[in-house]
Structure 1
Amino acid sequence: MFLHNRNVLKLACNAANFATASATRPKTAILMLNMGGPQNTDQVHDYLLKIMTDRDMIQLPLQSRLGPWIAQRRTPEVQKKYKEIGGGSPILKWTELQGQLMCEQLDKISPSTAPHKHYVGFRYVNPLTEDTLAKIESDKPERLVLFSQYPQYSCATSGSSFNSIFTHYRSSSLPSDIKWSIIDRWGTHPLLIKTFAQRIREELSKFVETKRNDVVILFTAHSLPLKAVNRGDAYPSEIGASVHMVMQELGQTNPYSLAWQSKVGPLPWLAPATDDAIKGYVKQGLKNFILVPIAFVNEHIETLHELDIEYCDELAKEVGVEEIRRAAAPNDHPLFIEALSTIVADHLQSNQSVNPKFLMRCPMCSNPRCRESKRWYQQLCSH
């Protein structure tokens, strides 16, 4: 009797273990790639150090010396900014929530590729992409989708994340039983455009009716060094395409413009800067604004501090703005979750594992690592 009970118990435990393994073993893994942000002020220095020494992100003379020096020098100032928005970046919280909601929808709309599981891979802070890849390998999915969370492609952002995966597998063996594919850009996806348009409408409705049609919709995106633009980086044109589509969705209701934020260092970057654009329009007599972070899919330091505190509060008071509002990032807006799940579901159903544009280099590319990386991805996605 005791032996029988023990065998029953053993069978029950094995069944429970199998069920748990099945529940955690996805058929389709989706790796959400982004820059990331420090979750507390202690992480700020290492985060800045990784950025300042990444030649895909920024090219500096004597980078191995100058990069660490800049990171050290900027740490106290950046720590202060994070303290002012609550002590850390909410980007991990938002990405985890977006991934969870996306996979819940994917399980419903694409049962043939279920179960789906999201993973977060950050470039400069935990969870680092290379650590997350090890987790994915241990979960043994049949398929892995590398899903850039930068809707518009730039070599400095998306490119850096993809290059980091290539670099990781130069020194680690590639799992042979996973089918890989890539979603590298999606800045004009109709549901993303509808999300931004809805976020703008939410803010427009808060202006008095007599002012509403004169409110300037000022789209703002992270700037890029002109050196990268002149090399042929696709980012400025892809940002412009997103802006055009959003205004089309809104029916061209308001005056609008595009400006660039977050410039670092003395070299020339895309202009006008967002703060200069606000000053310039106020001088022209335009004093009501909505700022729209068109390149960001969730809140972080560039929206919560730079836009909300530095521009909507401090600058607005300084230059005499009448009313300025900021459209929320997509975050967990239902339209945006639908966008994410639809983009992945359509990708999984298509026969295309990689966008041919992704395999192209900039016409004036001089980065040998980029050349090797594109060749590697071409082989990887052909299996």
Structure 2
Amino acid sequence: MVLLERAVEVAQRLEGKAGPGTIDWSVIDRWPAHPGLVNTFASNIEKTLAEYPEERRSKAVLLFSAHSLPMTVVNRGDPYPAEVAATVYAVMQRLKFSNPYRLCWQSQVGPQPWLGPQTQTSVEEYISKGQKDLVLIPIAFTSDHIETLFELDKEVIGESGHADTVKRVESLNGNPMFIEALADLAKSHLDSGIACSYQMGLRCPGCKNERCAESKKFFVGVQDSLAV
């Protein structure tokens, strides 16, 4: 939401200079089950699974890892966990549920409760149970950065003591299949004539943040301007 608020601030400043109504805004705000996105994730997972001996391949546990949220954000009704779960389920459908899987969460900071289970804890607990073939999938990230290259590769896998059996799926990065998906997403969005989804104008049930409220008003205005 912080990124959306900043985007709205930029939009408002630009309109302040250009004049109200002089810029047509269009927002691609959610695409958790886009076929191209799903196929790219699934293809990368299949490549990593192929690194395991055939007799162990289908028993490797797929651990989808996404950036966690404070429970205060989850409890006020943020749709992020459900949309991440939608991506996970779509990917598993594409894989025909070939492996057992779980969704876990990473990058918790501070003492307050966060959405769990945490990725590192999940890896440690599975290993303690004797499950050492684990495939980490950074499901809510589109490119490599500190949370994949350091947190997953160095902290989670590197400290697991089983870097030979705990593997990470390659991030989407510049995968041609993913780039094609982005192009298709942009074209489909423009062809639809829909400025942004109605979801963008809806506040969370427990939202008390006035900055968030202002950003939601902006997106409702984007929807209304197109309708007119």
Question: Same-fold call, TM > 0.5?
Answer: yes
Q: Which amino acid aligns with 2:102?
A: S
Does 2:123 correspond to 1:287? no
In the aligned structure 1, how far is the partner of 2:84 from the partner of 2:12?
32
In the aligned structure 2, how far is the partner of 1:378 from the partner of 1:230?
24
TM-score by length of 2: 0.92
Match of 1:41 in 2: none
Indicate if the aligned counterparts of 1:282 and 1:321 stay in contact, CA closer than 8 A.
no
Q: Which residue of 318, 324, 340 corresponds with 2:166?
A: 324
Q: Per-residue displacement from partner, 1:263-307 (whole Å, max 9, x unpaired)?
A: 000000011111110111112221101100000000000000010
**What residue ranges of structure 2 are gaps of 5+ in the alignment?**
none
In the aligned structure 2, how far is the partner of 1:225 from the partner of 1:193?
27
Residue 322 of structure 1 and its aligned partner are, at CA, apart by 5.6
Q: Which residue of 39, 50, 73 corresponds with 1:228?
A: 73
Match of 1:339 in 2: 181
Match of 2:197 in 1: 355
TM-score by length of 1: 0.56
Indicate if the aligned counterparts of 2:136 and 2:167 stay in contact, CA closer than 8 A.
yes
Match of 1:49 in 2: none
Q: Which amino acid aligns with 1:346?
A: S
Does 2:99 correspond to 1:254? yes
Match of 2:207 in 1: 365
Name the SS for the 1:183 alignment partner. coil
Name the SS for the 2:123 alignment partner. helix
Q: Which amino acid aligns with 2:171?
A: A
Match of 1:204 in 2: 49
Does 2:11 correspond to 1:166? no
Q: Which residue of 260, 263, 266 corresponds with 2:108?
A: 263
In the aligned structure 1, how far is the partner of 2:17 from the partner of 2:39?
39
Question: For 1:143-222, what aligned pairs fall within 5 Å after superposition?
Answer: 159-170=1-12, 173=16, 175=18, 176-222=21-67
Q: Which amino acid aligns with 1:188?
A: A
**CA RMSD between the two structures:** 1.5
Name the SS for the 2:104 alignment partner. strand
Q: Which amino acid aligns with 1:297?
A: T
The alignment covers a number of residue pairs equal to 222
Match of 2:142 in 1: 297
**What residue ranges of structure 1 are gaps of 5+ in the alignment?**
1-158
In the aligned structure 2, how far is the partner of 1:295 from the partner of 1:211?
27
Residue 239 of structure 1 and its aligned partner are, at CA, apart by 0.9
Residue 165 of structure 1 and its aligned partner are, at CA, apart by 2.6
Runs of 4+ with >2 A deviation: 165-172, 174-178
Q: Per-residue displacement from partner, 1:19-76 (whole Å, max 9, x unpaired)?
A: xxxxxxxxxxxxxxxxxxxxxxxxxxxxxxxxxxxxxxxxxxxxxxxxxxxxxxxxxx
Q: Which amino acid aligns with 1:249?
A: R
Residue 174 of structure 1 and its aligned partner are, at CA, apart by 5.1
Q: Which amino acid aligns with 1:300?
A: H
Residue 356 of structure 1 and its aligned partner are, at CA, apart by 0.4
Q: Which residue of 188, 197, 220 corresponds with 1:378?
A: 220
Q: Per-residue displacement from partner, 1:189-234 (whole Å, max 9, x unpaired)?
A: 1110110000100100011111111111110001100000000000
The structure-2 alpha-carbon separation of the partners of 1:347 and 1:338, relative to structure 1 and needing over 3 Å to count, comes to same
The structure-2 alpha-carbon separation of the partners of 1:344 and 1:171, relative to structure 1 and needing over 3 Å to count, comes to closer
Indicate if the aligned counterparts of 1:216 and 1:254 stay in contact, CA closer than 8 A.
yes
Match of 1:311 in 2: 156
Larger Rg: 1
Which stretch of the first structure deviates more once superposed, 228-237 or 169-178? 169-178
Name the SS for the 2:219 alignment partner. helix
Name the SS for the 2:135 alignment partner. strand
